[in-house]
Structure 1
Amino acid sequence: MRDNHRFRMADGAELVGRQTESFEMRVSIPSDDNGFFGRQCPECSLIFRMDAQQYEALPDDLTLWCVYCGHYAEHSEFMTEQQRDRIMQAAGDFAMQMVSQELDKMFGGLARSSHSDCVSFSYESRPFYPRPLPGIDEERLVRVRTCGGCQNNYAVFGEHRYCPVCGQLPAASVAFDALQADTARLDVLEALPSDTKAVLREQGVFTRNWVDTVENVVGVVEALASSLFHAAVPNANSLLNGKGAIFQRLDPMADLIIDAGFSDVRTALGPQTWQHLLGTWAARHVFTHNDGIVDAKYLTRVPNSSARMGQRLVLTDADCRRALDDAKTLCEALVNALS
């Protein structure tokens, strides 16, 4: 192309078209070692990553979803700051050459200096050499997720609810991902050096994390059960009328599902696992509503507990891992029952 010879472009930038005085420039966006590149939400400013090869195959008029907040907009709106800096530098170097060439046209045929009583100026034309474009050094992906609907791969760096291509994720995907995140948090704390663990343990970090895990488990199951029930039962709202937070209570939830014409999730889990879950739910209740102090209601729900009235319940890493495993089994049973 003739314009390619008129303008020097840095590696990664090229002119690909022109219409009268309008130029079209293409600037490459490097992928990481795994073939992923960044997208940044224009609303919440958080970054996620997408498979570059899959992205190229998507429609040109693609609308992207932020995996975190659900904001959706034309895909070019999701440019990261580093990508924008790279493009702006290429555009700036091109603009400098445009200005320089216009000045050459204006002053190229004149003497290099001119004097009068009022004006003195000089002009010297110099060759322009573009600067190397800045690279992209954004947060590296940790784990690749694959959307069960569109099969596109993406990576996130926090809790998320959306696929960047097709939007709202299925409730089951969100639930299992949340349980895995809690397991990862337990693993990270256990992998810390002994000296660091000792300091954190003394400050109550481990205890707080175990309590949070139990509370999260109940929240994950509640959200999944509610979503699945509403999707599967046409008259869900009328059946739930007056029943309060029924998905926070295991046996009433199981009975509700049976009354709606579905199978009993207790049978799928077995009595031992169900009893462990009842203990987890009871523990969550006393920590949420009674600062962990054992009361009569807890002892009624967990009759085999060795705790006494008025004592503060103590959780362990093993308790939390068992609760997470049991919750995963319950989530699978809920999906099977209500699908």
Structure 2
Amino acid sequence: MSDNRNFKVPDGAEPVGRPGKQVRIQVSIPSDGDGFFGRQCPDCSLIFRMDMQQYKALPDDLTLWCVYCGHRAEHSNFLTQQQRNRVIQAAGNYGMQQVSRRLGKAIRSRPSGSRRSGVSISVTTKPYRPRPLPGINEERLVRVRTCPDCQIDYAVFGEHRYCPVCGQLPAASVALDALQADTARLAALDALPNETKALLREQGVFTRNWVDTVENVVGVVEALASALFHAAVPDAEKRVKGKGAIFQRLDPMTDLFVDAGFCDLRPALGHERWQRLLTTWAARHVFTHNDGIVDDKYLVKVPNSPARTGQRLVPTEDMCRQAIEDTKALCETLVDGLR
């Protein structure tokens, strides 16, 4: 047991509890200029940020999800390292005062000198000044996400799949966020200084980025369409059995939805956009499986292509931006068609 009377604390720390009872130290965690503060996953160690005022309104027995890996634990386990250092400093201040008090009492309880020992003890005390708590200087948020289910605001610093409060995000949110990431990646390369861009272009970084974008948009639709279909169709497994990677193929995927009683994506998107999507999907196939070399299958799917068998497709930034825009429209039409 400890007495918290006359306990000196730095700004940001406060002893709580009645005198004579065990002391608990309440340490404040400051938010940043946007009102957000950090949370760090105890499993993958990655940091995300949450709105402080919204967080305070959540239940005391809250369990959090890591937005990146999905680890779930009691919210106090999500202290960042800087926050942990702040708490340790507050505890150290308290501990030093307790040691000083007890040592002083022990010395004062003994005679000042002893004939037998020939030892004399003298004690000089100074007023204790607690060390200031360290501040928090963590990475600031760039863009705020809002969970479509619980409306909690949070910020991430990488690809994520979970809301910190309610868990798994809706497939549509994941898909649209992935497309925004591809758009941001194109913009980041375009914003580089010309000298840097020239070096990266010579090394093939731009081309690799464009190829990755084409491959990514197909993966986004595949994941979204599969999730939506399995959630909406009771016998989904039976319907897709034996059909391979059907959600990677636009026309067969659309026919699957139509057969299950949902709208046809093709007229909803329009002929011109649908043909561009077919071209993007065909390009993805040759990039992924044939190092970009045009084959007869590609020319069957894209009969108006100027390329010839054996040539290598060369993507462009404009092609990628158009592919992202078309894919976003496809994703939105998929979601709307199942409502």
TM-score, normalized by length of structure 1?
0.96
For residues 111 and 215 of structure 1, the distance between their equivalents in structure 2, rounded to whole angstroms, comes to 83
1:11 aligns with 2:11: yes
For residues 192 and 183 of structure 2, the distance between their equivalents in structure 1, rounded to whole angstroms, comes to 15
Matched position secondary structure for 1:22:
coil
2:113/2:119 contact within 8 Å kept: no
Identical pairs, percent:
70
> Which residue of structure 1 aligns with residue 189 of structure 2?
189
1:49/1:141 contact within 8 Å kept: yes
For residues 115 and 234 of structure 1, the distance between their equivalents in structure 2, rounded to whole angstroms, comes to 94
For residues 119 and 287 of structure 1, the distance between their equivalents in structure 2, rounded to whole angstroms, comes to 87
For residues 110 and 254 of structure 2, the distance between their equivalents in structure 1, rounded to whole angstroms, comes to 91
9 and 287 in structure 1: CA distance in 2 versus 1, 3 angstrom threshold: same
115 and 69 in structure 1: CA distance in 2 versus 1, 3 angstrom threshold: farther
2:292/2:312 contact within 8 Å kept: yes
> Which residue of structure 1 aligns with residue 124 of structure 2?
124
Matched position secondary structure for 2:157:
coil
For residues 28 and 216 of structure 1, the distance between their equivalents in structure 2, rounded to whole angstroms, comes to 42
> Which residue of structure 2 aligns with residue 269 of structure 1?
269
Q: What is the RMSD computed on CA atoms of the aligned residues?
A: 1.7
For residues 61 and 293 of structure 1, the distance between their equivalents in structure 2, rounded to whole angstroms, comes to 57
Unaligned runs of 5+ in 1: none
For residues 127 and 310 of structure 1, the distance between their equivalents in structure 2, rounded to whole angstroms, comes to 84
For residues 327 and 253 of structure 1, the distance between their equivalents in structure 2, rounded to whole angstroms, comes to 14
> Which residue of structure 2 aligns with residue 171 of structure 1?
171
Alignment of 1:273-284 (within 5 A): 273-284=273-284
For residues 214 and 31 of structure 1, the distance between their equivalents in structure 2, rounded to whole angstroms, comes to 39
User: When the two structures are aligned, how many residues end up with a matched partner?
Assistant: 338
Q: Name the amino acid aligned to 1:35.
A: G
1:96 aligns with 2:96: yes
1:35/1:51 contact within 8 Å kept: yes
Q: Name the amino acid aligned to 2:190.
A: E
2:38/2:47 contact within 8 Å kept: yes
For residues 118 and 295 of structure 2, the distance between their equivalents in structure 1, rounded to whole angstroms, comes to 96
The alpha carbon displacement at 1:36 in A equals 0.1
The alpha carbon displacement at 1:124 in A equals 3.4
> Which residue of structure 1 aligns with residue 71 of structure 2?
71
> Which residue of structure 2 aligns with residue 245 of structure 1?
245
Deviation track 1:285-334 (CA, whole Å, cap 9, x = no partner) reads: 00100000000000110011111110110000000000000000000110
For residues 180 and 210 of structure 1, the distance between their equivalents in structure 2, rounded to whole angstroms, comes to 15
> Which residue of structure 2 aligns with residue 226 of structure 1?
226
1:114/1:122 contact within 8 Å kept: no
TM-score, normalized by length of structure 2?
0.96
